[in-house]
């Protein structure tokens, strides 16, 4: 597995994945970028979860055939232009929990909270091909309960895990990669 982190410190792109597949990217904070996460050219089958994507111009962008990436348990907060731009087919929830979207109530004023599940009753639309069918009512935090599968198997076999913090173009905690 290959993981590429282009952090050039120029306040433009927090993390760029180019032809990267079968990786886990979690526990990151992307704050103050033009593009927080940029996936392109065949970056497929990645799991991107437990990240804070906040105060960026644009959250996540996909270009050129990026498919079957799973996004869940992420917080998309106060991204100015958009939270995600995605014209490929990707997965935006794990079937039980999706992501927190700070603009959810503005976009879906008639949605109802399913308190017993912790999600909204209306999917969050990313594009015509992509919906978060289980958008979270509240921000996901490290103290939030993990799913049964996550408790039993926190790192799936043959995946790479990255833990970093990025703020305003500077990597403040170095990446840690595990295989």
User: Does 63 score more than 90 pLDDT?
Assistant: no
The Cα 4–Cα 18 span in angstroms is 7
Query: What is the share, in percent, of the chain residues with pLDDT greater than 90?
Result: 47
Please state the pTM of the whole predicted model: 0.77
Extract the tokens encoding 45: 């089958």
The Cα 14–Cα 59 span in angstroms is 10
Q: Which residue has the tokens 């999600």?
A: 119
CB atoms within 10 A of CB 6: 12
The Cα 49–Cα 144 span in angstroms is 13
Residue 167 is predicted with a pLDDT of: 41
Question: Which pLDDT tens digit goes with each residue over 90-143?
Answer: 999 999 999 999 999 999 999 999 999 999 999 999 998 899 999 999 999 876
The Cα 87–Cα 54 span in angstroms is 22
Q: Contact at 8 Å (CB) between 135 and 98?
A: yes
Determine the average pLDDT of the residues in 15-35. Answer: 88
Residue 88 is predicted with a pLDDT of: 87
User: Does 174 score more than 90 pLDDT?
Assistant: no
Residue 128 is predicted with a pLDDT of: 87
Extract the tokens encoding 70: 């799973």
Q: What share of the chain is helix, strand, coil (3-state, %, to 5)?
A: 5, 35, 60
Top-ranked range on mean pLDDT: pick from 13-22, 69-78, 146-155: 69-78
Determine the average pLDDT of the residues in 20-35. Answer: 88
Which of the four pLDDT bands, split at 50, 70 and 90, describes residue 145? low
Collapsing DSSP states into helix, strand and coil, what is residue 104? helix
The Cα 77–Cα 162 span in angstroms is 21
Determine the average pLDDT of the residues in 57-66. Answer: 88
């Amino acid at each position: 597995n290959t993981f590429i982190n282009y952090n050039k410190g120029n306040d433009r792109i927090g993390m760029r994945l180019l032809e990267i597949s079968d990786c886990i990217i979690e526990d990151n904070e992307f704050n103050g970028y033009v593009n927080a996460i940029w996936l392109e050219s065949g970056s497929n089958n990645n799991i991107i979860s437990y990240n804070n994507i906040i105060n960026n111009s644009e959250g996540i962008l996909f270009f050129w055939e990026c498919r079957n990436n799973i996004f869940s348990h992420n917080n998309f907060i106060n991204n100015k232009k958009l939270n995600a731009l995605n014209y490929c087919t990707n997965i935006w929830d794990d079937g039980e929990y999706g992501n927190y979207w700070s603009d959810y109530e503005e976009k879906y004023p008639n949605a109802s909270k399913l308190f017993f599940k912790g999600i909204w009753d209306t999917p969050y639309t990313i594009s015509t091909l992509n919906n978060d069918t289980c958008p979270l009512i509240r921000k996901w935090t490290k103290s939030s309960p993990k799913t049964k599968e996550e408790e039993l198997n926190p790192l799936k076999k043959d995946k790479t895990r990255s833990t970093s913090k990025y703020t305003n173009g500077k990597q403040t905690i170095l990446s840690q990669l595990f295989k």
